[in-house]
Structure 1
Amino acid sequence: MKPGSTVQQGLSNDEIPAADDKQLAKTIARYGRVDLLMIDELGYMELDRRGAELLFQVLTEREEKNSIAIASNQSFSGWTDTFTDPRLCAAIVDRLTYNGTIIETGTHSYRLAHSRTQAAG
């Protein structure tokens, strides 16, 4: 996955073709090796079942080995819109929250506040 791309893009652009090429294990291992996997705006786009299963495999590969940072404007209860299979959604939340730290930053948009500051100044 290229720097700056999202996991959702990565799942559709990297992993799904890799599965077709029988190189899925190699692709998942690549995601597993980076020190920090950052996923921005999880919950913004719906993942089809295949994409959600592949994300689960990546999270499983990284479990208790390397760090994951996720930003989302959705609460965990809202993730069922992103991960349409409730059992798979629960398994992903379980993987992410086990021994994890959850930081709630509130509902105010940093980008909106920054834009307003720039416009006023």
Structure 2
Amino acid sequence: MPKIQMQLKRIKGSDLVIIDDLMYMAMDQREANVLFHLINHLYERSSIILTSNKGLEQWGELMGDQGITTAILDRLLHRVEVIQLNDNDSYRIKHRTTIFGKDSVQN
């Protein structure tokens, strides 16, 4: 069994799947299809925590296929709790004052 298939099997068997920085970069059609099949499998079987720096309205453009985007979001947004953080500053840099001194890099 190819390595990617083994990794997907392991993920699909998990009770909790955390996907960090989804949509950080645009996806090609193959990547969007793999994501759809993963989300479709996890739907109502596992808990999913997902972070993204893009608003949902941008996902269609970044996936390049509105149909698959709609199918993914349909499954993700069913019985979901959305927590939206509207801080434009980098959370990582903002809270690293111990490295950068009193002022953060962004000040």
Q: TM-score range by the shorter chain?
A: 0.7 to 0.9
Counterparts in 2 of 1:113 and 1:88: CA distance versus 1, 3 Å:
same
Secondary structure of 1:41's match? Answer: coil
Secondary structure of 1:46's match? Answer: coil
Secondary structure of 2:82's match? Answer: coil
Name the TM-score, length of structure 1 as normaliser: 0.71
Contact 1:63/1:95 (<8 A) preserved: yes
Structure 1 partner of 2:34: 54
- Most deviating of 57-66 and 99-108: 99-108
Distance (Å, rounded) in 1 between the aligned partners of 2:39 and 2:45: 10
Secondary structure of 2:48's match? Answer: strand
Name the TM-score, length of structure 2 as normaliser: 0.79
Structure with the largest fraction of helix: 1
The percentage of counterpart residues that share the same residue type is: 32
Structure 1 partner of 2:49: 69
Note if 1:113 corresponds to 2:104: no
Q: How far does residue 43 in structure 1 lie from its aligned partner after superposition?
A: 1.1
How many residues are treated as equivalent by the alignment?
A: 98
Contact 1:48/1:84 (<8 A) preserved: yes
Matched ranges for 1:1-121 at <5 A:
14=4, 18=5, 28-108=8-88, 109-115=90-96, 117-118=97-98, 119-121=100-102
In the alignment, structure 2 segments of 5+ residues that lack a partner are: 103-107
Contact 1:49/1:84 (<8 A) preserved: yes
Q: Cα deviations across residues 60-104 of structure 1 (Å, max 9, x unaligned)?
A: 111111111111110001112321101111111111110111111
Look up the equivalent residue of 1:111 and give its one-letter code: R
